[in-house]
């Protein structure tokens, strides 16, 4: 039974920043206060073709897997380029790429100004990885990174090396506003006032509406944010069954690259190691944990295993997030699941 989430009684803030310069998104530099007439809002139907701002959720609610493209940083021009991606979403990698919230801010601006997408959504969803070790101590010290990333208007966070349920809980709490509906297993959120100003413009909604829907899905059915876990070392493996059950988690993956360092005990790429019995056992454990918790599983779905139909094998097994959003493998997967939506 779904919980009923009520809109918080929060007054919309007066926005001093200049709106994004996009067609249909009127400039109001001389306006003394926020004007709904000058800045079109979508409080009910929030995208051109779907219920959600975050297209990933639209696809999952139709039972469709999604396919992502990954980039390592990039600013305004990269955002304009990626607005036309065929991928269902973009992973913006800052775990090992430079940590620049200015670049991420400009990337989101570029997405909006080159939009809407071919699906009618304002932007492709953007999921960010950050250079935070997935321990409770690291999350306590670095929750500011999560809040800085969300303030740019992104659509979710993928926590790398998610080692414990306590670390996962701290991530979710850092992403929620203090007035968010109470959820069992979580304490009050810590996200601050002002974070809604730019992010609401990127999403194309009022500041008040943003604060209502900037919530983890599926914990909140009206939420537009997705939070995932990389289970990619033995410490994370030991806790995976409890970590994936933290309220607010939507998906998880098993991290074969890092696992190969720990399990195979050698440097190099992991592609040749995925078939090793110990590696297969880890993958099976993470997949089983996601199924038991009723969240989505992310896995490589390219044809690296030697068959162009490898993506079909992964979908049959339960994979709902695939690599290679612009690849032929993604086309094979979409055809297999009889997707009719544009992409």
The answer to whether position 341 is within a domain reads no
What's 235's domain CATH number? 3.20.20.60
Q: Are 186 and 176 in contact (CB under 8 A)?
A: yes
pLDDT (0 to 100) of residue 235: 97
Cα separation, 149 vs 56, in Å, equals 19
pLDDT (0 to 100) of residue 253: 97
Cα separation, 25 vs 122, in Å, equals 11
Low-confidence ranges of the chain (pLDDT < 50): 1-45
The answer to whether position 146 is within a domain reads yes
Neighbouring CB atoms inside 10 A of 320's CB total 21
pLDDT (0 to 100) of residue 5: 41
pLDDT (0 to 100) of residue 266: 76
Neighbouring CB atoms inside 10 A of 245's CB total 16
Number of domains in the chain: 1
CA dihedral 171, 284, 282, 275 (to 10 degrees): -130
pLDDT (0 to 100) of residue 169: 98
Q: What is the pTM assigned to this prediction? A: 0.85
Looking up tokens 């309220």 gives 247
pLDDT (0 to 100) of residue 7: 40
Domain, as residue range, for 286: 65-336
The answer to whether position 195 is within a domain reads yes
What's the mean per-residue pLDDT of the chain?
Answer: 85
The answer to whether position 130 is within a domain reads yes
pLDDT (0 to 100) of residue 49: 57
pLDDT (0 to 100) of residue 301: 83
pLDDT (0 to 100) of residue 305: 52
The answer to whether position 113 is within a domain reads yes
The answer to whether position 231 is within a domain reads yes
pLDDT tens for residues 315-336? Answer: 999 999 998 888 888 989 999 9
The answer to whether position 28 is within a domain reads no
Helix spans in the chain (H): 55-61, 76-82, 101-114, 136-150, 165-175, 196-203, 207-213, 234-243, 256-264, 277-293, 310-317, 328-336
The answer to whether position 34 is within a domain reads no
């Amino acid at each position: 039974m779904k919980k009923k989430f009520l809109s918080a009684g929060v007054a919309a803030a007066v926005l001093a920043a200049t709106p994004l310069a996009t067609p249909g998104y009127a400039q109001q530099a001389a306006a003394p206060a926020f004007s709904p007439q000058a800045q079109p809002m979508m409080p009910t139907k929030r995208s051109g073709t779907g219920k959600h701002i975050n297209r990933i959720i639209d696809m999952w609610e139709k039972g469709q897997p999604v396919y992502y493209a990954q980039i390592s940083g990039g600013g305004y021009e990269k955002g304009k380029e990626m607005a036309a991606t065929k991928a269902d979403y973009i992973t913006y990698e800052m775990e090992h790429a430079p940590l620049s919230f200015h670049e991420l801010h400009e990337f989101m601006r570029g997405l909006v100004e080159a939009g809407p997408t071919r699906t009618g959504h304002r932007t492709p969803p953007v999921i960010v990885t950050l250079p935070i070790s997935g321990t409770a101590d690291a999350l306590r010290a670095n929750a500011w990174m999560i809040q800085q990333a969300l303030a740019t208007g992104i659509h979710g966070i993928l926590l790398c090396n998610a080692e414990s349920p306590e670390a996962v809980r701290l991530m979710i709490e850092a992403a929620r506003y203090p007035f968010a509906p109470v959820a069992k297993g979580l304490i009050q959120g810590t996200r601050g006032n002002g974070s809604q100003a730019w992010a609401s413009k990127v999403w194309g909604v009022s500041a008040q509406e943003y604060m209502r829907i900037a919530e983890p899905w599926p914990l909140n059915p009206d939420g537009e944010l997705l939070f995932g876990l990389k289970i990619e070392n033995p410490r994370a493996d030991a806790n995976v069954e409890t970590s994936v059950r933290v309220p607010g988690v939507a998906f998880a993956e098993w991290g074969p690259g890092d696992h190969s360092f720990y399990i195979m005990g050698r440097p190099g790429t992991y592609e040749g190691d995925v078939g090793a019995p110990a590696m297969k056992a880890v993958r099976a454990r993470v997949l089983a944990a996601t199924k038991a918790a009723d969240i989505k599983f992310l896995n490589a779905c390219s044809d690296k295993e030697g068959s162009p139909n490898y993506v079909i094998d992964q979908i049959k097994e339960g994979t709902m997030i695939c690599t290679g959003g612009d690849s032929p493998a993604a086309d094979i997967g979409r055809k297999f699941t009889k997707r009719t939506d544009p992409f």
